[in-house]
Structure 1
């Protein structure tokens, strides 16, 4: 690259990575703060789930629309708008006087993040040539890992030193600094012109909400009760209607032809499984050190570092390796490591468990997570044409966030059936019962990774899609 394109690529990498850092930090900061939020605002386990799921559900549902808005109205323009919305919603969450107000603010945060996140990958893929993409994605994923690493630690320090409200104020100065940088340094670009698929959005939004609502409320109302069966049944039917509509829509928000590519389908299966297992486990384990072992928020954040700090160091290396050996072995190994690690944690966790017995499985889980981030992004981009990167990014991010939503909902339901917040032992019993569900899903994801094309096939496909004419 000449100096000017190289400088542009570096600025783009910095801006999109910081935006990704902000959304990553927000996810795990909230996890550490859940016990304090519960003590301050009240609410049941279900209410706590919605402080997480209100964000991830609106995030997952609208990711495809965020990508489509960027393609139609300008990726830089929508990226800046998304940053502004996320920043304003963060301030609203910080000022929330009740659990309902907090859930509403979190939902709006998810809308802003849904616009920002898919565009980070699209803007980066445009600015960096394919030969250097793996390294750039490694840095991108590593900075995301920094947000993951600092989330519990910063959250614990802020909650203990000030109050939980300040975990949301943290986003505001970052957003205010990033908005003018993005407006001034990024290059505007557009995707293929298309109308917004409002019918598709309505179908998938209502369908996913029905499924998640049914899973979240299933334990409380009874899995065979009429409201739960109706909610899940209607949700499945609406998602099926969404697929049928997308197959015949003239401008689909999620082209079903993407799934004819083995690499795209298998990688999305991997991403779904990893986020299901990881987010579901993090939701419970981020509370384990406080509720199960009686530690302070800061002490809890420090104890999660072997898990959460690992992606910061390993993800850049995994990005480089994915260019050389392909994504398949890295993703398969990553999910297998996470499955073993969570099974190990389930076996040794107890209210009086020594922290030394938890360090190795925590580090193993983080190492495995880091092996998936950049290689999965690289595999998705290699499976579609460059002008389809926005839709593909939106699709894969939506699928993995849906995995996170369902992971939290399902593991929390298993926790509720076997444990409670009544005593440290009761909480630990629920965690130990729920973690094996994550183990099974992660193991299935590791098997799915074996279907991702090898490095030779991926390179051949990448060359083919560049030469392939663009559809009208």
Structure 2
């Protein structure tokens, strides 16, 4: 083999090679696949009213259209990471992409609630296999400054995908129809399946045990938690259909903790939560995602159901929110190294609380451009900053050997936050979602404002003090 000259400073080969080109092509394809996964968290929100009419869906079913995906995505993500270690990241990635693509086709073809929810569950399972495998490939394919650059691109996709999803969902629903929020994944998935094997080398898998009981317990417990929260909107917080699932969820979480402590290869090392940075990062990610996805859900239903906005007009309404989220993340990523995560996290949550408080002024006649939009933009700036501090707190302040597990924990709480946020606000705003009244929406936004304010107070104690330099990705 001919030895190539190395750059004297970086030690890297200054001349591009076929391997280098394949790595960057692979990164582009992996980011495209990840963009689909993040997009599908929020792309359905604008399509919900049209789905409800065509398939005769009630509030409870509409809630599950959103939460079934994030529930399986987050609940099975750690298992997906273990499978990548056992079977190989490339093999697990392609399997997850195939499942996600087929599930997207089935969901678009759904003609009843059962098929629709089943398709969303299958989409979440595919995403749980795809996402950790893709990130593992990105991480192992690049080193040094190139790794930071690659992860920066990856983070930008994740940071903007949720907000852009609402806009794309509006355009597709207003155009070819709500089915296309799922159909659009099919050609993208097929193209990625055809191209990825040529640019991702097969690597020998590492020996790892699979904690299948842990994965099943965690997912079942979270499903019962979401079910109980959703049922509270119909039967009240004291009803048996609310209390029994919530009690069962608490029991299963306890069993999960015991199983993880006894396992030689646990799905989640619970000792990680004894480390303050990881606990703080998980808390920030849970609250931030719960608020953001809840806002998209409430805003989409309010604009279309209570104010008569079209799907496209609703999607365009969220465009400033997408920009504001990116702006908040960009500013936070620049300031974290100078002043530390705590003041940014506290400020971000306080700003989100102010934005949510403004949303309590919603009315049946006032212009959404002067009531809804300012509150959404202000909240989005704050939540964008919270997302950055969640990641930096959890990953920068822990040892290198724990960074992988800490990242998996943060990603899991991201998806769990989306599920819980939608379930809670759907319950609080149940009457408004059913009949278009305003009171339920304002009550839900009051709850969001209180949650953000309380979280800001908690962050002043929980988030570690001190400055640190975030050398990972900046979101632009």
Corresponding residue for residue 432 of structure 2:
419
Equivalent in the alignment of 2:131: 117
TM superposition score normalised by structure 2: 0.87
1:37 corresponds to which residue?
51
The 1:189/1:378 distance shift into structure 2, 3 A limit, reads farther
Aligned to 2:237: 223
Determine the structure 2 residue equivalent to 1:466. none
- Residue of structure 1 in register with 2:213 after alignment: 199
TM-aligned CA distance change 1:459 to 1:159, over 3 Å: closer
Pairing partner for 2:440 from 430, 441, 444:
430
Q: How far apart in 2 are the matches of 1:6 and 1:452?
A: 39
Matches for 1:374-385 after TM superposition, within 5 Å: 374-384=388-398
Question: More displaced, 278-287 or 373-382?
Answer: 373-382
* TM alignment of 1:26-175, pairs within 5 A: 26-129=40-143, 136-175=150-189
How far apart, CA to CA, are the structure 2 residues paired with 1:422 and 1:228?
A: 22
Tell me, in whole angstroms, the C-alpha distance in 2 between the residues paired with 1:92 and 1:104. Answer: 9
The answer on 1:442 being equivalent to 2:475 is no
2:178, 2:110 → 1: CA distance? 11
1:211 aligns with 2:225: yes
Q: 1:342 to 1:56 in 2, by over 3 A?
A: same
Q: Determine whether 1:407 maps to 2:421.
A: yes
Find the residue that maps to 2:265 and give its secondary structure.
Answer: coil
**Conserved in 2, the CA contact under 8 Å of 1:156 and 1:301?**
yes
Q: Unaligned regions of 5+ residues in structure 2, if any?
A: 1-9
Mean Cα displacement is larger for which, 31-40 or 437-446? 437-446
Please show how residues 304-453 of structure 1 align to structure 2 within 5 Å: 304-312=318-326, 315=329, 318-319=332-333, 321-322=335-336, 326-384=340-398, 386=400, 388-416=402-430, 418-423=431-436, 426=437, 428-450=438-460, 451-453=462-464
If each structure's helix is expressed as a fraction of its own residues, which one has the higher value? 1
The alpha-carbon distance between structure 1 residues 123 and 443, as it changes in their structure 2 partners (threshold 3 A), is farther
> d(CA) in 2 for partners of 1:368 and 1:25?
21
Cα displacement string for residues 423-462 of structure 1 (whole angstroms, at most 9, x for unaligned residues): 4xx1x221111112222222343344443345656789x9
Listed as ranges, the gaps of 5+ residues in structure 1 are: 463-472
Question: Could you tell me how far apart the structure 1 residues matched to 2:296 and 2:401 are?
Answer: 35
Partners of 2:429 and 2:443 within 8 A in 1: yes
CA distance in 2, matches of 1:91, 1:191: 31
Conserved 8 A contact 1:258-1:384: no
Once the two structures are TM-superposed, the CA of residue 200 in structure 1 deviates from its matched residue by 1.1
Is the contact made by 1:134 and 1:320 (CA closer than 8 Å) also made in structure 2?
A: no
What CA distance in whole angstroms lies between the structure 1 residues aligned with 2:453 and 2:135? 27
Kept in 2: contact 1:62–1:111 (CA 8 A) = yes
Q: 1:227 to 1:358 in 2, by over 3 A?
A: closer
Tell me how many residue pairs correspond in the alignment: 457
1:419–1:147 distance in 2 versus 1, CA, 3 Å: same
- Checking the alignment, whether the CA contact within 8 Å between 1:12 and 1:185 is kept in structure 2 is yes
Q: CA deviation at 1:397?
A: 1.6
Deviation digits for residues 161-214 of structure 1, max 9, x if unmatched?
A: 221111111111222222344333335557863211122122222222222111
- Please give the alpha-carbon distance, in whole angstroms, between the structure 2 residues aligned to 1:225 and 1:356: 39
- Displacement after TM superposition at 1:374 (Å): 4.2
- 1:12–1:127 contact (8 Å) kept in structure 2: no
Q: CA deviation at 1:121?
A: 3.6
Change (3 A) 1:150 1:179: same
Q: Which is worse superposed, 102-111 or 430-439?
A: 430-439
Which 10-residue stretch deviates more, 250-259 or 129-138?
A: 129-138
- Note the 1:4-19 alignment, pairs <5 A: 10-11=24-25, 13-19=27-33
TM-score (norm 1): 0.87
C-alpha RMSD of matched pairs (Å):
2.8
Deviates more, 1:433-442 or 1:25-34: 433-442
- 2:202 and 2:188 map into 1 onto residues whose CA distance is 22
How many angstroms apart in 2 are the aligned matches of 1:52 and 1:189? 35
Per-residue deviation at 1:377?
A: 3.0
Structure 2 vs 1, CA of residues 8 and 437 (structure 1 numbering), >3 Å: closer, same or farther?
A: farther
